[in-house]
Amino acid sequence: MKILITGTSRGIGLACAKKYIAMGHSVIGFDIMESAFSAPSYTHMLVDITKKLPDIEGVEVLINNAGIQDGPDVIDTNLKATIAVTEKFAFQEKIHSVLFMASSSASNGAEFPEYAASKGGVVTYMKNTALRLAKYGATSNSISAGGVYTPLNAHIMDDPSLMKQCLDETLLGRWADADEIADLSYYLTNINRSMTGQDLLIDNGEQLKSNFIW
Ligand SMILES: NC(=O)c1ccc[n+]([C@@H]2O[C@H](COP(=O)([O-])OP(=O)(O)OC[C@H]3O[C@@H](n4cnc5c(N)ncnc54)[C@H](O)[C@@H]3O)[C@@H](O)[C@H]2O)c1
């Protein structure tokens, strides 16, 4: 299948690119950064998703992964550009599945204000696309991760005391690896046929964590 993934130079996007290639698909990656990764079935394109998008025909799986955490461009990047990418590449006959990287903050609000708002918008937009993509027989879902070990969180991972505080917030005492998110992405887009319009929380029990006092 022809897979388009945004934000493939590192982190979750890179793990997804490697996963889909390992499963025999061809991947086009958009990123503002160069990629150190190369493979015969991988095409890296220097594209800023907030700007003019290139023309690509016949995308079968679209993974909206590129995102930033803070600063003045959060809504433009995480929400407006994600909508622009989806409207341009998803609504055509070849489309099989669309996936969005939302965030656990979409449901609990516990992040930078614009980040949480942008991801809440992504989840609602995902549901909107599920309704409109059904006529192509395509699914649309989102993944809402809690902490994932990626360069986005380098400042936490480099600080043992901050890292411990974050892990103590979770029920399982751990964060997810980017590979786990890539595996779940693959399931949702290429194995799943009946789940659509759903947001999947993968947060090591962080939102569930509570104590029973008796
Ligand atoms: N890491 C986490 O803990 C976590 C948790 C929940 C959700 N997420 C979401 O998952 C997605 C990936 O996160 P990550 O941790 O891999 O981040 P990351 O910062 O490691 O990687 C993001 C990639 O997106 C690219 N990118 C940023 N702006 C872009 C633009 N305008 N155009 C094209 N590419 C752009 C970056 O250059 C980078 O390669 C993001 O949407 C993030 O919000 C991450």
pLDDT tens for each residue of 99-129: 999 999 999 999 999 999 999 999 999 999 9
Secondary structure of residue 8 in the 3-state scheme: coil
What is the reported pLDDT for 210? 87
Residue 212 pLDDT more than 90? no
Query: What CA–CA distances, in Å, run from 114 to 4, 30, 78, 131, 204?
Result: 26, 23, 10, 26, 24
Percent of the chain with pLDDT over 90: 98
| Cβ pair 141, 99 in contact under 8 A | yes
Model-wide pTM > 0.85: yes
Our mutation pick for probing the ligand 1 site, out of 19, 101, 152, counting the most ligand atoms within 8 A of Cβ, is: 152
What is the reported pLDDT for 200? 98
How is domain 2-148+177-202 classified at the CATH fold level? Rossmann fold (3.40.50)
Answer yes or no: is the C-beta of 10 below 6 A from any ligand 1 atom.
Answer: yes
Segment 42-63 shows an average pLDDT of 98
Answer yes or no: is the C-beta of 200 below 6 A from any ligand 1 atom.
Answer: no
User: pLDDT band for position 136 (50/70/90)?
Assistant: very high
